[in-house]
A and B are shown apart, each in its own frame.
Chain A
Amino acid sequence: MHKRKKIKKIKLSEAVGYLFTLLVAFTVLVPILWLLVSSFKTDVGVIKFPPRFFPEEWTLHQYLYVGDSIPIFDMTRNTVIFAGGVTVISLLFDSMAGYAFARMRFKGSKALFSIILLTMMVPFQIIMTPLYIEVYKLHLLDSYLGLILPRATSAFGIYMMSSFFEGLPKSLEESGRIDGMSEFRIFRSIMMPLCKPALVSLGIFHFMNNWNDLLYPLMLTSSQNKRTLSAGLAVLVGNKVIKYGPTLAATMISLTPLLVLYIFCQKYFIEGVAAAGVKE
Chain B
Amino acid sequence: MKKKLISLFLSAAMCMSLLVGCGGTGKETGGQTAENVADIQNEQEAAADTQTDNQAAGETASGEKITLQFWNVFTGSDGDILREIVDNYNKTNTDNIEIQMDIMPNDQLQQKLPAAIATNTAPDFVLFGVENIAPYVSNDSLEDISDFWDVTGVDKSNILENVLELSHVDGKLYGAPMQYNVSYLYWNKDLFREAGLDPEKAPATLDELAEYAVQLTNPEKNQFGLALPTSVTYMQFLWANGGDADDPDTNTNLLDSEENVKTLEWLQDLTVNKKVSPSNITGPEADTMLQAGQIAMYMSGPWQINGLRAQGIDFGIAPCVAGSAGAFSPAGGCSYVIPKGTDESHKLAAYKFMQYWLTDDVLKEWSQRNGFPVWSKTLMEDPEIQNDEVLSAISKATEIGRSYNLGYALASQIDNDVMIPLFEKVMSGAATPEAALKEASEAMDRVLAQ
- Seen from chain A, the residues whose Cβ lies within 8 Å of a Cβ on chain B are 43-44, 47-50, 69, 108, 110-112, 115, 128-130, 132-134, 136-139, 141, 214-215, 218-219, 222-224, 231, 234-244
Min distance, Cβ A142 to any Cβ of chain B, angstroms? 8
What is the CB-to-nearest-CB distance from B332 to chain A, in angstroms, rounded to a whole number? 10
Contact of B2 with A134 in the complex, beta carbons under 8 Å: no
CB of B102 within 8 Å of the partner chain: yes
- B104 touches A (CB below 8 Å): yes
When distances are taken between beta carbons in the complex, the residues of chain A under 8 Å from B76 are 236-243
Q: Report whether B307 and A218 are in contact in the complex, using a CB–CB cutoff of 8 Å.
A: no
Q: Do residues B105 and A237 form an inter-chain contact, with CB atoms below 8 A?
A: yes
B105 and A235: CB pair below 8 A? Answer: yes
The verdict on B254 contacting chain A, using a C-beta distance below 8 Å, is no
Bound together, the chains give a CA A141 to CA B122 distance in angstroms of 12
Stretch from B106-114, B211-219, B390-398 contacting the other chain: B106-114
Nearest chain A CB to B108's CB is how many angstroms away? 5
Q: How far is the CA of A244 from the CA of B303 in the complex (A)?
A: 15
Chain A contacts for B24, CB-based, 8 A: 130
B89 close to chain A: CB less than 8 A:
no
What are some 26 contacts across the A-B interface (CB < 8 A)?
A: A43-B310, A44-B311, A47-B289, A47-B311, A49-B222, A69-B80, A108-B5, A111-B9, A112-B5, A115-B9, A133-B22, A136-B119, A219-B112, A219-B115, A231-B104, A234-B105, A235-B105, A236-B75, A238-B75, A238-B77, A238-B78, A240-B303, A241-B77, A242-B76, A243-B76, A244-B288
List the B side residues contacting A136 at CB < 8 Å.
119, 121
| A241 touches which of B1, B5, B73, B284 (Cβ 8 Å) | B284
Known: A108-B1, A111-B2, A137-B20. 7 other contacts (CB 8 A): A49-B222, A222-B123, A234-B108, A235-B104, A238-B77, A239-B74, A243-B77
Question: CB distance A239 to B111 under 8 Å?
Answer: no
Which residues from chain A contact B1 at a C-beta distance below 8 Å?
A: 108, 111
Q: Residue B271 at the A interface, CB < 8 A?
A: no
Residues of chain B within 8 A of A132, CB atoms compared: 112, 115-116, 119
- Check if B312 is an interface residue, CB within 8 A of chain A: yes
B30 sits at the interface (CB 8 A):
no
> Do B284 and A224 touch (CB < 8 A)?
no
Q: Are B311 and A234 in contact (CB under 8 A)?
A: no
B199 within 8 A of A: no
Chain B: interface residue total (CB-CB under 8 A): 52
Asked if residues A218 and B108 are in contact (CB atoms below 8 Å), the reply is yes
A95 and B222 CA atoms in complex are apart in Å by 56
Q: A108 vs B3: C-alpha distance in the bound complex, in angstroms?
A: 10
Minimum distance in angstroms from B346 CB to a CB of chain A: 15
A63 to chain B, nearest CB (A): 16
B292 within 8 A of A: yes
Interface string of B50-91 (1 = CB under 8 A from A): 000000000000000000010001111111100000000000
Q: Which of chain A's residues have a CB closer than 8 A to the CB of B121?
A: 136, 141, 222
Residues of B within 8 A of A214 (CB): 108
The chain A residue sitting closest to B291, CB to CB, is: A47
Q: Does A224 lie within 8 Å of B102, measured CB to CB?
A: yes
**B105 to chain A: closest CB distance in Å?**
5
The residue on A at minimum CB distance from B303 is: A240
Closest Cβ of chain B to A190, distance in Å, is 30
Interface residues of B in 269-291 (CB under 8 A from A): 283-284, 287-289, 291
Bitwise interface map of B from 115 to 153 toward A, beta carbon under 8 Å scored 1, else 0: 110110101000000000000000000000000000000
Most buried by B among A108, A214, A215, A223: A108
- Given that A129-B115, A133-B119 are known contacts, is A242 also in contact with B288, CB under 8 Å in the complex? yes
Contact across chains for B22 and A130 when beta carbons are under 8 A apart? yes
Partner of A133, one of B5, B73, B115, B289: B115
In the complex, what residues of A have CB within 8 A of residue B104's CB? 218, 231, 234-235
Q: Which residue of A lies closest to B310 (CB)?
A: A43
A121 to B223, CA, bound (A): 46
Given contacts A237-B75, A239-B76, contact A110 B2 (CB under 8 A): yes
- Closest chain-B Cβ to A107's Cβ sits at a distance in Å of 8
Shortest Cβ distance from A160 into chain B, in angstroms?
23
A180 to B387, CA, bound (A): 91
Q: How far is the CA of A139 from the CA of B101 in the complex (A)?
A: 22
CB distance B292 to A47 under 8 Å?
yes
Q: Which residues of B contact A129 (CB under 8 A)?
A: 115
Q: Does B301 contact A (CB under 8 A)?
A: yes
> Is B326 interfacial (CB 8 A cutoff)?
no
Find chain A residues with CB under 8 A from B205 CB: none
Contacts of B6 in A (CB 8 A): 111, 115
User: What are the 3 closest A-B residue pairs judged by CB atoms, nearest first?
Assistant: A238-B76, A242-B284, A130-B22
**What's the Cα separation between A239 and B72 when bound, in Å?**
11
B253 within 8 A of A: no
The answer to whether A241 and B9 touch across the interface, beta carbons within 8 angstroms, is no
Contact with A along B289-320 (1 / 0, CB 8 A): 10111100000010110010011100000000
Most A CB within 10 A of own CB, among B9, B69, B78, B291: B291
A234 to B108, alpha carbons, bound, how many Å? 10
Contact of A235 with B119 in the complex, beta carbons under 8 Å: no
* A69 CA / B81 CA spacing, docked (Å): 11
**Interchain nearest-CB distance for B20 vs A (Å):** 6
Q: Is B169 an interface residue (CB 8 A)?
A: no
Question: Is there a chain A Cβ closer than 8 Å to B103's Cβ?
Answer: yes
A218 pairs with B311, CB closer than 8 A: no
Distance A240 CA – B290 CA, assembled complex (angstroms): 14
Q: Give the nearest-CB partner of B282 in chain A.
A: A242
Collect the chain A residues with CB atoms within 8 Å of residue B73's CB: 239
Contact with A along B309-337 (1 / 0, CB 8 A): 01110000000000000000000000000
